[in-house]
Chains A and B, each alone.
Chain A
């Protein structure tokens, strides 16, 4: 290792320590300045950009200067591919909270020589810490949210967003990612997931009605199923808990369609209950190899008549993808009938998967393709949820 390289790696290590020290007792608004001061130890200026919730633009934080389009800029390229991107003397680095994409950080390329493994490792570590700090500090103020919102959020959307887990999570041999629209006015759609030991639990939900009314229904359903899951309860118990919670909380026949599922991450075995929701698809290369239309029962909230006694089962093979969606997606893709909509959806999934993109980028593009079908704002909430199992899915998320 040359002396210059070792000096630079050491300077970045100092910058990381400095960043930890400087951010312990500061407000979120001061994070960009703290990052810049710490990175100064490694000889570079920094500029922070956060992705907006519709995942179309990277907005400067603090809000000085113009945003960049994610689809058409070197900064956007770093965000899309979750890999650093060179632009002249700048280096655009993806900002991730683990695997969730938050934005990009601009560094000076001369101070972050990626051809040197020791320097690269230290820069990666510094930028990873910035991503974690954004995620942690988001709980304490609105500085990040104000940047990430391009318009005010409805009360219903506010309610639903705060219940959702991060849009992307990957570990070991799986990645789960989801996207919801319309970002600022959605109400009835939601998704959930959680890993316990080697089981991935997941759910997709769509409640009757619109706006806050639908959001409240979804809040009750999601809370009921999650509480049972966290107490160790199975899929049938989760569904029953939602039935009971909705029935006791509301006097009408409102309901939530849902698929509740578990994936055994060791074997790929999927167990699921389908409570009146459009059946998720198992995709192998470009083909639908299974449709999750077993385990049928009435929507959550309507009790257990005609309910399957046991969850249905299907088995994933290495490299398979599980794609769940809400009816808003199909309605957008096919105004004139179901088969066409599902064909289009499968075709979109196949086309974007063929590019070898990370799962969240596949969904971002599919989502924008779906939205492009509308002349105006979407008529209904539209949710896409994608699970990639046992391939190199996680590897594609790393910077």
Chain B
């Protein structure tokens, strides 16, 4: 661990390279365990919103953006989200467009679930119903975009897709996507260490904030390393598909009413604690 008079702090392996990781962290990343020059997104708020996506009848189409609330930051912040439908359900990482299970009542007698046929990763047949949500933020608000189609018609029965109430948890970070982010804090003291609080580089890094860390025995979020939805490749005679993929699992998503849809995803996202 090395500290200089500017408040720069680094923890690194100096074997054979001396001070190089301290002066050039990006050029020596494999030797760095911590460096206050590096940008480490810090959590500034976590807010849970409740959203009800309305019921849909067959042949209906939705394309809407809902304002969840103000984020209170200057500029457009980096955010991460996760979604569940009810407190008993597991959180699903809200990375990219999340394909939601979609439910239908055929003439109020037969209950259908789209998105879990026949087993394994959920998929949505092009000719059936599907619903997806995408999380975003502008310079003022957190927003959620929904697009959906309810196109199914089976054996002449009228179909209604029930409303779906979701909890959306949004974590806001101190990263501004509209402008350069500060490389040094504004504290008068270069380094602060007390029994309860540590601050490096004039307060740029603070121990009273949370950062994105891995491995995570109990992950709160998943950082995507690639695709989270796959297009095509479904079973024969099922047409074109959208399939959720690449989530670590298993993930439970409660269907309505009272069912639990077990979804097992590929484990190719990085589990992290935030």
A binds B: no
